[in-house]
């Protein structure tokens, strides 16, 4: 039995074979999938997928790339979705991305903290994106996320940081970068 805890099958790249992809996953033992929101539109699509497919669940959130577009009404909408949609199981994909810096860092931090506060209010776990922002992510988690659980998605930090993350009650996810030839430390 397998459970895919991080998918983006709402993405337009799946427009021609989304149903086939879901069916192939089931045929290969995947009993559940969490489709992750990266902005408000993809969060809404994630919910629609969850509503129309058994075994698919949704996470809602604004990725750090899109943090600059976040507005107050977005948090109200996410709270409404969580309150009315039982298949919304987490807040994410949220966090900090200092590699691309597509949103200003201070804005990313503010949006990340607001998502953590929302998760606390709603009793939901968080799905964290951390790229080249390990120190700030850990500082925010330690200060703002007491009592919240979740997963560090696509982990790229050190062994020491991973131990700290686990002590805080979070899970660590190793995704695509572990396959990269240059990722010897991650391996």
Both structure tokens of 54: 């058994």
DSSP 127-162: EEEEES-HHHHHHHHHHH-TT--EEEET--S-HHHH
The ranges assigned to domains in the chain are 2-179
| Per-residue confidence (pLDDT) for residue 63, from 0 to 100 | 98
The architecture of the domain spanning 2-179 is: Alpha-Beta Barrel (3.20)
| Per-residue confidence (pLDDT) for residue 85, from 0 to 100 | 98
| Per-residue confidence (pLDDT) for residue 26, from 0 to 100 | 97
Per-residue pLDDT of the chain (187 residues; tens, 9 = 90+): 899 999 999 999 999 999 999 999 999 999 999 999 999 999 999 999 999 999 999 999 999 999 999 999 999 999 999 999 999 999 999 999 999 999 999 999 999 999 999 999 999 999 999 999 999 999 999 999 999 999 999 898 899 999 999 999 999 998 888 888 888 888 7
| Per-residue confidence (pLDDT) for residue 42, from 0 to 100 | 98
Total count of residues recorded for the chain: 187
Strand 30-36 versus strand 2-7 pairing type = parallel
| Per-residue confidence (pLDDT) for residue 183, from 0 to 100 | 81
DSSP 8-state code for residue 37 = P
| Per-residue confidence (pLDDT) for residue 117, from 0 to 100 | 98
């Amino acid at each position: 039995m397998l459970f895919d805890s991080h998918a983006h099958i709402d993405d337009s790249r799946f427009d021609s074979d989304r149903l086939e992809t879901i069916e192939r996953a089931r045929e290969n033992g995947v009993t559940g999938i969490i489709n992750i929101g990266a902005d408000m539109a993809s969060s809404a699509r994630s919910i629609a997928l969850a509503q129309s497919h058994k075994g698919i669940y949704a996470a809602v959130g604004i990725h750090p790339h899109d943090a600059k577009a976040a507005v107050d009404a977005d948090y109200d909408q996410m709270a409404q979705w969580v309150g009315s949609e039982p298949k919304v199981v987490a807040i994410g994909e949220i966090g900090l991305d200092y590699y691309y810096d597509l949103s200003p860092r201070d804005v990313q931090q503010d949006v990340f903290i607001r998502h953590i506060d929302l998760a606390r209010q709603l009793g939901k776990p968080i799905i964290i994106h951390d790229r080249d922002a390990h120190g700030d992510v850990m500082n925010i988690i330690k200060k703002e996320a007491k009592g919240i659980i979740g997963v560090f998605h696509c982990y790229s930090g050190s062994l020491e940081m991973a131990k700290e993350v686990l002590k805080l009650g979070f899970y660590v996810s190793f995704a695509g970068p572990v396959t990269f030839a240059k990722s010897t430390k991650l391996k």
